[in-house]
Structure 1
Amino acid sequence: MSFVKVFLRILVVLGIVFGIGIVVFVIQIYSEIRNDTDKIINYQPPIATQIFDRQERLVANLFDKEFRFYATFEEIPPRIVEALLAIEDTLFFEHPGVNIDAIIRAMLKNIKNARYAEGGSTITQQLIKNLALTREKTIERKIKEFLLALRLETILTKEKILEVYLNHTYFGHGFYGIKTAALGYFRKSMEDLTLKEIAMLVSLPRAPSFYDPTKNYDFSLGRANNVLQRMYEVGWISQEVLDLSLSEQPKVYNDTLTKNVAPYVVDEVQRQLVGLEDLKTAGYKIYLNIDLDYQEIAQEALYFGYEQILSRHKEDEALKEKLNGAFVVLENKTGKVLALVGGVDYQKSNFSRATQSKRQIGSSVKPFLYLSAINSGLAQNYQIPDIARTYEYRVGNVRKKWQPKNYGSSLSGFISLKTALTKSLNLATINLVEEVGFDRIYREILDYGFENVPKDLTISLGSFGASPLEMAKNFMVFSNYGKVITPMLIDRIVDMQGDVAYFSGEERELSKPKQSFLIVDILRNAINQGTGKRAKVEGIELAGKTGTTNDNVDAWFCGFSPSIEAIVWYGKDDNTPMGYSETGGVAPAPAFSYFFDKILEIDPGLERKFMIPQGVQSQIVEGERVYYTDESPIKYQPKVNHDTIIF
């Protein structure tokens, strides 16, 4: 065999091997391209969820890693498309995905400058680099990009490619997508943008950090002017429009991404929706029952009371660090949560005392005990002994005594049920519980919604705990005339497809309206004449009950108007006393009053007088107006003096 024949055979074999190699390489590239194509065709980016109040005002944005709002191509104004193409890819609607002329020009420029000075990528290729491929400068990647661009444009329309590009691209400052950037930088929807603002936005993808107008405003303007000049050169805007736009200096906002104006509320929303795994990425719109006006006033009211407490204890430096509070507002008839404040300062502590903390409720339990007494047939004027008692009991082999006292230690002898609750008398309440029957009282305390209640007489003085939100729910047995509805923070959730999920609370009737009103009247009296005087507001009927625990560790005010209920709590986070005199009537009652005084200013049409249900009658008994029903009729009892009784 001659040398020539051998050489030719070798060439043939090498050609076959090379050809097979090329085929294998192409098949591999094509396989990878198919996978990469799917990433773009089936593009489903993470989309931020938005939370709104009941008037559809933004409360917060929720997102995971990328803050994005999605815009369809139909939503994107033509001027945005023109500005983008003018500076990035003027022949976008004419080329098949790659622009050979642009690539050649870029190569010549790079050779001339002896460095990588310019690329020839089309919008399609840029999208591929951002979404499907790495940015490494290798021959293999460039081949993939080239082939993928050609393939992609045979599958997707030009409009769809632009849609994906404008939604996926990073525009700096944490903003992903053109819609997000418009809202973020200018607080405008896309259709409200000026041409100069559009030019500033489409300048950003090339160097998002450098052209970020919140950091480098002048550079951003300069780049935008280049965009405008280019639009003029290609004939897409007139000289008049160019001159007008060049002179404009848009206002730019440096907002936080979340725009969270009610952080305690937003945290609670996330806790309630913890099972929704795509909460921060699926673009939900969550509409709350919260009213931002009420929320702001509740926060102000809580801080007002906090400052008053501190002013009474200026010498106590530690109090300022430990003292805190909570404020919850409900709509009586619906259970909708109108405001929820979990602390005095979220920046110092994001722990929500409104929902996550259970504190002893003290005397704020008493209306529930008296409602049980009313429902057992006792009347408002029923006489109960306000006398001292000593209870002896054993803990193991140790004999102990419990000697409860009234605040101030005074005794009144026999006193009406109405007066006893108005003045929040401890001893009268304990005696009432024994008269009605402890077992019945205990059972009904659980029915009212309280949990982990000790089975002893200390429940008469509220020796167990509840969160302010739980107290708000349970107090609806008065504010809603016997009907208790699970408090609802969320009204509805709308997904990206427009499907709506509504939220509603469970409703239970625990007392008849006429019976509950008998306690409402007493609680109204407690504000007018009793322990809640500091909660009074001129021009509106209010009802409520103070609550104080041993040594002034916790101070509550639980009250309501004919349409709105408000629960206020103050205490120290370490469960130590707040200081002398910080009772429910001193610490939280003024905050309650502050709230309703301000609410009347923004909502003067608020219902002002309590409705008297059918079946309720009244008459004057010994100088006092007494309300009664056929189930709790007026009774007359002889008054008897009692000395201290030891059991």
Structure 2
Amino acid sequence: MRTEQQSTPSSSVEESASATQGTTGATLDKTSSTTAEETSKQARVAVLPAKLPENSRAARAQRLNDMPEEPTRGVYYKVPHKLSQPTGWRTKRHLKRRNLHLSNLRYLATERLGTRGAMLPLASAILAIAVISATILVAISVLADATNQRYGQQVLTLQDILPKDNLKIYDSRGSMIYQATDAGLQTTVPLSKISPHLVNAEVAIEDQYFWKNPGFDITGLVRAALEDVTHGHILSGGSTLTQQLIKQNIVGDQVSMTRKLQELIIAPDITRRFTKEQIMEMYLNTTFYGEQAYGAEAAAFTYFGLQDTPTKTAAQQLDIAQAAMLAGIPSSPFGRDPYLHPKAAFARVQEVLRQMYLQGYITNQERLQAINEVQQPNFLKHGVIKNDSAPHFVNYTLNELARDLHVKVSDLSRSGLIVNTTLDLNLQNRVLKDAQKHIAEIAQAHHVTNAAEVVIDFHTGAILTMLGNIDPNNPRDGAFDVASQGLRQPGSAFKPFIYATAFEHGVSPGAPVLDGPLTIQMCCGLPAYTPHNYDMSYHGLITYRYALQNSFNIPAVKLMMQTGVDASLKMAQDLGISAYNGTPNYTMVLGSLGVHLLDMTSAYGTFANGGVHIPPHTISTVKDVHGKTIFQFNDPGKRVLSKQAAFMVTNVLSDNTSRSFEFTKCSALYLYSTSQSQCYAGNTGPVRPAAAKTGTSNDFRDNLTMGYTTDYVVGVWAGNNDNSPMVDVTGVDGAGPIWHDTMMMVEQGKPIRNFANPSGVVKKTVSYPGITTTDWYIQK
């Protein structure tokens, strides 16, 4: 009976429609005309859409209508068409309805007969489901307990176990001179310093209910499962941002059901212990964006060349298009790398922008503008890391840092440390250019190809400049740091260490010494040693002051015979010589031992510092990513030489009159403020007191100029990387001009001060056999 009531109206409608078709073209009667007018009036009434909450699913669905529709395929022509229904369709419809009626009758009969027989299987199925459900619940409970026991501590300390930033090193003025890249780039910044566009893009494409869900999204899991089943392989994981954070930093990324369940177990705990803002900040600072970039800050630099400004971080400068590009990468860092797979990356960007629009984060106009921006040829700009501004200084700093922290250099790459150094990069660049200029001027005539230089503030031991090579980018030997790694013979620059030993034991610079022929009989069958002066002459009875300033060899060897080899070597080591090669003997006073330029400079700094040695260092402070200081250099130094003996060395080395015999009165060791020609004409201008000594090794293989003022100590080496001999160039001609210029640079703007005279020394005139001198003596 119910079937007949349903079918009757349907037949009437169809017959009415058929009758209407049969009367097409006939004149409408008055009643039909009136009905048409009423229908037209109703059609003109405006229909307004319902007011919906902005972020509701219905509103997002309604915004789908705003998306431009795809054009209908094919072309419509205004010509007669075929009949809307094929011939015989009414007969087919009648047969279909009859068969449906018979099928319903058979179903009712079967249902009445099978109700009792089906109850038992149904009950068995329900019981089986209950048992399976109970088993699953027990298994999940056990897994939950095991997961909490295994990862509970990591959940509590999640912020502390996140991957550390890459190591960064800065000069004394805050300019970055190095960052470790071998283990990837990462720079942690607060969420407030990350573009909100990136936050919105990540939420839109990865976890649209992030701000409300408990750490997991059941609808997302179901949707991902359906997609995986449909495609026959894992297409998407349905993980929330919280789950991704857990996967990356706690449970690992192994593809398994157990790992997935562990994520679901831990996610609510993470959500309870941390705010959504903290979770988002941790995610955006550590997630992998490909190209060795971890976190938003590194990704902004890597893909768009953005760098921090005084007011904004690189991540804070990301616009909508850039944010959409980055947000599309983490789900497939290699497959959607815009440098490697631009088409896949562009398709993903479009999907991210579409979701941002549908979820109300951007307007449709902003979506279209972003798509247009992504297609511009200069949209991507690979950030370039510059680690070559001070390579030798950086290498020394890395080794010093590893030594101070008692770790390996390889452990520092992702240590998260921020190292502030003593380097004055501006000064080092000026020093480098000056050294290159001087070496170029004498390179061809004297076969000189390289120089090294060290500038130290001896009051603190801070290394302001360490130039290990004037051609650091040379692929053959530019990486070799002569200043801290090379062991080169210092020549006569080593003599002040022996003189200091003698002065410490009461010898006065005014004491006489005979500069004449000398032969020393050696033990153990070795041949006798006969030293000679550089000018191959003898100068008779002279003072030690005169002998040191003019770098005579024979008086220096005689003095060492008094002090002894062991005592002299110990003095050199106490002053700052940390390593050497060669055999210590009487020849070492002439510079036969190979030493580091850095050590030589530090040792001369001990003279300048009144006999107190402060170890040279490049590190001022070391901080973690939170700004906490974990290391700070604080070494007051150690007294290794009396103030009186140190003063005597300084007084002799700063006596320009005494060295005029060998070096002339306007040599590079004299810090006059005019030109050299004006100096020789008598116009020196203001003269800055400086103590200096040169040294030249055998065969002109190395030459040095060492010296200091009341502010800084500077050491310069000139020579060749392959240790080949130079041609007729001494310390005052090769290294001297570079030393002079550097001293004038570093002292620019500082007041001129003389070396202080400590108590405990007295100046007196003493008559010796054959000579009367006036000089300094230590009071007993």
Query: Where on the TM-score scale, by shorter chain, does this alignment land: which range?
Result: 0.7 to 0.9
AA matched with 2:178: A
Q: Does 1:187 align with 2:307?
A: yes
**What SS does structure 2 have at the residue aligned with 1:522?**
coil
Q: Does 1:201 align with 2:201?
A: no
Partner of 1:521: 654
Q: Does 1:604 align with 2:748?
A: yes
Partner of 1:430: 557
CA contact (8 A) 2:654 2:692 kept: no
Q: Does 1:595 align with 2:742?
A: yes
Residues 38 and 78 of structure 1, relative CA distance in 2, 3 Å threshold: farther
Matches within 5 A, 1:135-284: 142-149=260-267, 152-184=270-302, 185-188=305-308, 189-190=313-314, 192-196=316-320, 197-209=322-334, 211-212=336-337, 227-228=352-353, 230-237=355-362, 254-255=382-383, 259=387, 261-274=389-402, 275-277=405-407, 279-284=412-417
AA matched with 2:764: P
**What SS does structure 1 have at the residue aligned with 2:284?**
helix
Count of residue pairs the alignment pairs up:
610
1:33-66 alpha-carbon deviations (Å, 9 max, x no partner): 4345765553312312322221122222247734
1:465-495 alpha-carbon deviations (Å, 9 max, x no partner): 4322221221023333433322222112223
Q: Does 1:546 align with 2:694?
A: yes
AA matched with 2:605: M
Q: Distance in 1 between matches of 2:461 and 2:332?
A: 51
Partner of 1:404: 531
Matches within 5 A, 1:64-103: 65-73=183-191, 75-103=193-221
| Structure 2 unpaired stretches of 5+ | 1-119, 674-686, 772-780
Q: Distance in 2 between matches of 1:351 and 1:342?
A: 7
Q: Distance in 2 between matches of 1:191 and 1:614?
A: 57
AA matched with 1:46: P
Matches within 5 A, 1:485-500: 485-496=614-625, 498-500=628-630
Q: Does 1:504 align with 2:504?
A: no
C-alpha deviation, 1:611, in angstroms: 1.1
Q: Does 1:46 align with 2:163?
A: yes
Q: Distance in 2 between matches of 1:129 and 1:378?
A: 74
Residues 443 and 28 of structure 1, relative CA distance in 2, 3 Å threshold: closer
**What SS does structure 1 have at the residue aligned with 2:652?**
helix
1:101-128 alpha-carbon deviations (Å, 9 max, x no partner): 4445555666666766555443234334
Partner of 2:518: 389
Residues 115 and 460 of structure 1, relative CA distance in 2, 3 Å threshold: closer
Q: Distance in 1 between matches of 2:244 and 2:412?
A: 30
C-alpha deviation, 1:331, in angstroms: 0.9
Q: Distance in 2 between matches of 1:108 and 1:501?
A: 54
Residues 11 and 82 of structure 1, relative CA distance in 2, 3 Å threshold: closer
CA contact (8 A) 1:379 1:635 kept: no
**What SS does structure 2 have at the residue aligned with 1:54?**
coil
C-alpha deviation, 1:364, in angstroms: 0.5
AA matched with 1:592: W
Q: Distance in 1 between matches of 2:424 and 2:558?
A: 43
CA contact (8 A) 1:378 1:633 kept: no
AA matched with 1:270: L
Q: Does 1:613 align with 2:756?
A: yes
1:434-486 alpha-carbon deviations (Å, 9 max, x no partner): 57787875664555344779664323313334322221221023333433322
Partner of 2:4: none
Partner of 1:623: none
Residues 20 and 93 of structure 1, relative CA distance in 2, 3 Å threshold: closer
C-alpha deviation, 1:363, in angstroms: 0.5
Matches within 5 A, 1:344-383: 344=470, 345=472, 348-349=476-477, 350-374=479-503, 382-383=511-512
Bigger RCO (CA 8 Å, 6+ sep)? 1
Q: Distance in 2 between matches of 1:440 and 1:147?
A: 72
CA contact (8 A) 1:556 1:567 kept: yes
C-alpha deviation, 1:81, in angstroms: 1.6
Residues 610 and 352 of structure 1, relative CA distance in 2, 3 Å threshold: same
**What SS does structure 1 have at the residue aligned with 2:748?**
coil
Q: TM-score, normalised by structure 2?
A: 0.67
Partner of 1:621: none
Residues 516 and 327 of structure 1, relative CA distance in 2, 3 Å threshold: same
Matches within 5 A, 1:627-642: 630-635=761-766
Q: Distance in 2 between matches of 1:334 and 1:573?
A: 31
CA contact (8 A) 1:377 1:631 kept: no
Match of 1:475 among 604, 625, 629: 604
**What SS does structure 1 have at the residue aligned with 2:178?**
strand
Q: Distance in 2 between matches of 1:443 and 1:25?
A: 73
Residues 296 and 517 of structure 1, relative CA distance in 2, 3 Å threshold: same
Match of 1:22 among 97, 121, 136: 136
AA matched with 2:463: V
Which deviates more, 251-260 or 73-82? 251-260
Residues 128 and 456 of structure 1, relative CA distance in 2, 3 Å threshold: closer
Match of 1:289 among 395, 413, 422: 422
Q: Distance in 2 between matches of 1:108 and 1:439?
A: 84
Residues 216 and 313 of structure 1, relative CA distance in 2, 3 Å threshold: farther
Residues 11 and 237 of structure 1, relative CA distance in 2, 3 Å threshold: closer
CA contact (8 A) 1:546 1:585 kept: yes
Q: Distance in 2 between matches of 1:18 and 1:105?
A: 24
Partner of 2:716: 568
Q: Does 1:558 align with 2:687?
A: no
Partner of 1:3: none
Greater Rg by CA:
2
Q: TM-score, normalised by structure 1?
A: 0.79
Which deviates more, 469-478 or 450-459? 450-459
Which deviates more, 495-504 or 217-226? 217-226
Q: Distance in 1 between matches of 2:215 and 2:565?
A: 83
Higher strand share: 1
